[in-house]
Amino acid sequence: MEKQKYERPHILRLETGMPGKFGMRNEPAPTTHIDGMAVSELAEKYGSPLFVLSEKTIRSVYRQAYKAFSTRYPKVQFAWSYKTNYLSAVCNIFHQEGSWAEVVSGFEYDKALANGVDPKKIIFNGPAKTREELLLATNNESLIHIDHLDELYLLIEVAEHADHRPRVAIRVNMDTGIYPMWDRFGFNYENGQAWDALNKIMHSGKLDLMGLHTHIGTFIMSANAYAVAATKLAELARLLQVKFNHKLKYIDLGGGFASKNTLKGSYLPGSDTNPSFNDYAEAISSALINSHFAPGELPMLILETGRALIDEAGYIISSVIANKRMSTGRRATIIDAGVNLLFTSFWYQHSITVAQGTSQYREDTSLYGPLCMNIDCIRDSINLPLLNPGDHLVIHQTGAYNLTQWMQFIHLRPKVVMIDEMGDAHIVRENEEMESITGLEKLPGHLSSIKA
């Protein structure tokens, strides 16, 4: 006789008079497949943990965002924020969809060039560009966004020796009503620094002022903050037109749109509460259209949206290593993906689902990663079915920042696969091996052996 399927024993005390927070129980369905591929097969073939990216989702989210803006504003241009996820396979999807590149270091700049991006369509942000990098970007006619006065003067110097005039914008910081105010990057609007820098650029006669840039923060839950930002940049554009008869080519409102993730400590899921692309697009387009710009003279609107475009397309497949009972009686489950792979678990309450059908029994569990470190907690408290070692879990919305800020710490990093629109999986980054780490090390002669 075939033996029965085993589930570990479980008993739960029923609390009376204590309904759930909103009287609802939202029980996510198991994620048995990602874009048609069985999670268990992916784990078997490529190993666990495993990063999985959905090309279909990347393209469809991008198209939703583009449509939200292009139906409301005549000239819209996205520039893919490399730091959010600079796997070349990911960048090239965005470039195929029409995105420019937004980079913040020489490394990212070179990566965009290597991906074949037209240098004129690379936006070079960041507070730490070197003289060599500025010269290269100038000669390539890339768009250089000036962060501070030292950079402005350096660029005027660089311009003397360059083949082309630098094409520039300044980064502006401002009060948009959100807290904390990001005033560390760029020139301040309210205290006149930004206007001062624009005057210096115009009077230098050495730089081509193309646009204005701001990045007001990240995961901004208020669409109206963007309306404030757009209005302030439009005002600077008006002053330039009045004083210098200079027309700007673009206004770049940076990134910062919230993805559908849920921030830690939120009661309601982010998919219900966060503004949509339509909300942001409505706020921004109205602010620009209602400003002084004459019809037909609206500047191009550039957006450097990062997390909102890629979070949803990323998954981590992970496996249960062990179940434990803490001294307090709490259940704890250890899985093979920790904060080494999931940097964003410090801010997000990632949705986590099982990859196989289960009974209806649930247990309040703490979910820990495999690092031998107290910080390695993926979820303090999550209601999970009764899992056995070897069972798979799927961590959702992991596409932004994790594949750039993950760390090789204690464990080697796993493979990344992308499922294409036909449903076929491709390895887009190999797993690390011992050689990936030790290959960079050098042993001084007297330490090459442990014999004293």
DSSP three-state, residue 199: helix
Minimum CB distance to ligand PLP, residue 152 (Å): 17
List the interface residues with ligand PLP, window 194-233 (CB under 6 A): 215, 218
Q: Which of 386, 393, 416, 425 binds another protein (CB under 8 A)?
A: 386
328 binds another protein (CB under 8 A): no
Q: How far is CA 41 from CA 33, 317, 402, in A?
A: 9, 11, 23
Minimum CB distance to ligand PLP, residue 254 (Å): 4
Residue 365 and residue 381 in contact, taking contact as beta carbons nearer than 8 Å: yes
DSSP string for 284-317: HHHHHHTSSPPTT-PPEEEE---HHHHGGGEEEE
Minimum CB distance to ligand PLP, residue 7 (Å): 41
Residues forming beta bridges with residue 394, ordered by sequence position: 317, 353
Nearest to 116 by CA among 144, 91, 83, 90: 91
Q: Which of 121, 129, 307, 379 binds ligand PLP (CB under 6 A)?
A: 307
Question: Which two structure tokens, joined as six digits, stand for 83?
Answer: 């730091």
| 215 contact, one of ligand PLP, another protein, none, CB 5-8 Å limit per kind | ligand PLP
17 binds another protein (CB under 8 A): no
252 binds ligand PLP (CB under 6 A): no
DSSP annotation of 263: B
| 80 contact, one of ligand PLP, another protein, none, CB 5-8 Å limit per kind | none
How far is the C-alpha of 418 from the C-alpha of 427, rounded, in Å? 6
Kindly indicate which of the ranges 3-11, 17-25, 27-35, 437-445 contains the residues binding another protein, using the contact rule CB under 8 A: 3-11
Site residue total, ligand PLP (CB under 6 A)? 16
Nearest to 309 by CA among 98, 30, 36: 98
275 binds ligand PLP (CB under 6 A): no
Largest CA distance in the chain: 90
Q: What does the per-residue mask of binding to another protein show for 274-313, with x meaning CB under 8 A?
A: ----------------------------------------
Kindly indicate which of the ranges 133-141, 202-210, 302-310, 320-328 contains the residues binding ligand PLP, using the contact rule CB under 6 A: 302-310
DSSP three-state, residue 389: coil
314 binds ligand PLP (CB under 6 A): no
- How deeply is 369 buried, as exposed, middle or buried, from its count of CB atoms within 10 A (0-12, 13-18, 19+)? buried
305 binds ligand PLP (CB under 6 A): yes
Kindly indicate which of the ranges 8-16, 72-80, 190-198, 440-448 contains the residues binding another protein, using the contact rule CB under 8 A: 8-16
14 binds another protein (CB under 8 A): yes
256 binds ligand PLP (CB under 6 A): yes
| 305 contact, one of another protein, ligand PLP, none, CB 5-8 Å limit per kind | ligand PLP
| 152 contact, one of another protein, ligand PLP, none, CB 5-8 Å limit per kind | none
Minimum CB distance to ligand PLP, residue 426 (Å): 25
- Which H or E run includes 137? helix 131-139
359 binds another protein (CB under 8 A): yes
Minimum CB distance to another protein, residue 263 (Å): 32
Give 138's contacts (C-beta < 8 A, 6+ positions apart).
144, 155, 158, 159, 162, 163, 164, 165, 166
Q: How far is CA 144 from CA 136, 152, 165, 212, in A?
A: 11, 10, 11, 11
DSSP three-state, residue 367: strand
364 binds another protein (CB under 8 A): no
Site residue total, another protein (CB under 8 A)? 19
List the interface residues with another protein, window 185-244 (CB under 8 A): none
99 binds ligand PLP (CB under 6 A): no
How far is the C-alpha of 48 from the C-alpha of 40, rounded, in Å? 10
Kindly indicate which of the ranges 6-14, 39-47, 160-168, 192-200 contains the residues binding another protein, using the contact rule CB under 8 A: 6-14
- Sign of the CA dihedral 367, 370, 376, 378? negative
How far is the C-alpha of 10 from the C-alpha of 240, rounded, in Å? 70
DSSP annotation of 334: E
Q: Which residues are near ligand PLP by CB under 6 A?
A: 81, 84, 102, 125, 215, 218, 254-257, 304-308, 400
What are the residues binding another protein (CB under 8 A)?
3-14, 325, 329, 359, 361, 386, 388-389
